[in-house]
Structure 1
Amino acid sequence: MYKSKLLLLLLSGCICSCLFGQENIRSGAKEQVLSPEVHPDNSVTFRLVAPDATRVFLKGNWTTESSFPDGKIPMVKSNSIWSYTASGLPSDLFLYNVEIDGVLVNDPLNVYQIRDVNRTFNYFITNGERADLYKVQEVPHGTVAKRWYDSPTLGMTRRMTVYTPPGYEEGKEKYPVLYLLHGMGGDEEAWPTLGRAAQILDNMIARGQVKPMIVVMPNGHVSNTAAPGESSKGLYPIGFATPDVGTGKMEESFIDVVRFIEENYRVQAKKSSRAIAGLSMGGSHTLFTSAFLPDYFDYIGLFSAAFRMNDKAQSPVFSDFDHRLTKQKENGYRLYWIGMGKDDFLYETGQQFRKKLEEHGMMYHYHESEGGHTWSNWRTYLTLFLPKLFQ
């Protein structure tokens, strides 16, 4: 009798828990309202259930070029549902929000979100060859781990993201390493989320387009130990820049990142098996780090790279930089790859740095794309850069 009552109580508890866990499910809805709905021709329909709203706008990272003020596209109301259909979009990943009566919010019908600096956005992926690289496909998958490492140079323990290729855990093979760096507004979570780095690696490795490799994505802000909310610093207000930007401290301490990886992972610890690449601020880190450590990297990638970000900063990384470039040339390298958008605000900076490389007789590969300082470009640059590594 006691066992029967206990079983009945447990079952009742499970049922209550299930009901409580589903308390956010809308009841009484006749049919599911979808938003966004990506159609085969890459037109996309957005919907919002807001019967009492008076004005609703859609704002995405592709709408800034529209003729609407501030890139805000008005949605049209029918009964209680607001909607808008964007005509065929390119093959890519897109971010957006909705504005309801002057308040910018996330699409309540879309659970897929990404943080970029101090805001979260809904996202969706369209169809086509480019977008297919950003989707999770039925292919062998690598592992993405968040690792804490000791940085003696900085006197702190810091966090990085590490991608290991499919089969790493089961095998004994040693792999080459790409160190992939984010921009000023990012952290160790930027390339795995906004950059879709793991999906790109998985898919391109499966296609035989890219050699299996380890990819290390450290936090480039040395005044933070980890991404917002992931450290003892707590839930602090997130800013775009930090005091360490342009100080050279990231470059000075980069050897700690390399040593941790080579002591804890099966890697080919040699110059010909190391690559370093970064976007914007990470591009600045890349060009200065590769010159500061001229015996370490055979492959260098600059994606919309900044150059000197703080002219007043005193660091050995910046001193006698021209001599360091000469040393880098003398030591040799296999690839110096530069990508830049025609409309990028750093376009002239890139042009000037290319002239500097030419003055030193340093060979490089240059790729110029449409668009500007965008993740759309940086994801594309990664897909172009990766096949050239470790060949």
Structure 2
Amino acid sequence: MSTLPKMTSNQKATLAAPTQESASEPASETNKELAERLEKHDKEGKKLYKEQKYTEAAAAFTAAIEACGTDPKYQKQLVILLNNRSAMYEKAGLLDLALEDCGTVLELDAKHAKARNKRARIFEGQGKWKEALTEYCAVQLDFMHSNKEKLIRGIPLDPPVDQAKMEELCDKCVPEAMTEAEARREKYLGEQKKTGGHLKLPTKHTVGMLLESFTSCEGWKADAADDKTVGELSVELAADLEPADKCDLLFKRGRRSAFDTNYDEAYADFRQAMKILDEKSDVKDEMRYYCDLLEWDGVCKHLSYDMSGATVAYEKALEACDDSNGAKKCELMVRCAGIKMDEGEIPTAEKWFEKVRQINRSEQTNYNNETLTSPPPSGPRLGPELPRRPAPPLQPLHAPAESGEGYR
């Protein structure tokens, strides 16, 4: 099969930005002769197409395209011929050539719907879902722009691309998009680790706003405010301490630094304490703030986009958390759910939310049983009988689990 001539880049550039120079050049043939030659090749191409001789038809359209030259007055005819030739290339299975012609058509006429649809169809056949969706979106946007007055008036119109087709392509794009996003994230984290940037937290404002969203915020702030200053805790840390005591003091200094909005210094203290625990795992049994340290380590890792590290820290904190502290367990579970939502693992996030709901229901049942079975007070009454307190309302901490929202 012979190679079919294609449009040169010079021809494309000249047609895209025509000058008056070409109009002043003497014509080698009259307009009538040129028109007749164009018509001859065009008819020949259409005839060969009907005979399903697609490569020969493409060659005929190529002759017509070359006859057009670079004269801007033939640009409209050239667009038609290029589109026809791209159709022949597609029929002949020469998809790269078909895509190239479609690209040339769109350079000359960005609103050419047939070229857009053809490219989308070819991309879809090649499994390039994102590229196909891009072309269909361009068709949809052009349709909306062309019919904006009717759309504003609420006149119902049939879209050029079926909604089911758009949804199908969107669904097919999701796995690829997730893979690309994960690859970008891994590349970013790799670059950050080389420079130490993976240990840096977001801005103070961002961290502060996120910490304020936790229901435990007021509690730890009150504890930090009642504690010693960073300077005083640093003096204590300078002494010769047992590993467990040092970890506890590092945690307290880190918490106080967080209270003072020095979040990077806080994270440094938490990391130092965690390093001691990694080297001597039995130290945790002697610590007072082991669970709290794990929680803060998880928060800092989550904020620095170390999702897997944050999940491990939160899960360890859950294991170390006292079973009677349902509120703390719920908050840690909601944070685990938030990580999974950030990673796009919605079913796993929902499982965490369900665990929170189970704790909520269990605590409510225990409270109701205690209230119903408790005997009335004996002995003389020293005052008017007080009404029994109502069941505690749903804690704000648990609200994300009921609404299906997680810590972001």
TM-score calculated relative to the size of structure 2: 0.20
Q: Which has the larger radius of gyration?
A: 2
Looking at secondary structure, tell me which structure has more helix per residue. 2
Looking at secondary structure, tell me which structure has more strand per residue. 1
Q: Which has the higher contact order (CA 8 A, sep 6+)?
A: 1
TM-score calculated relative to the size of structure 1: 0.21
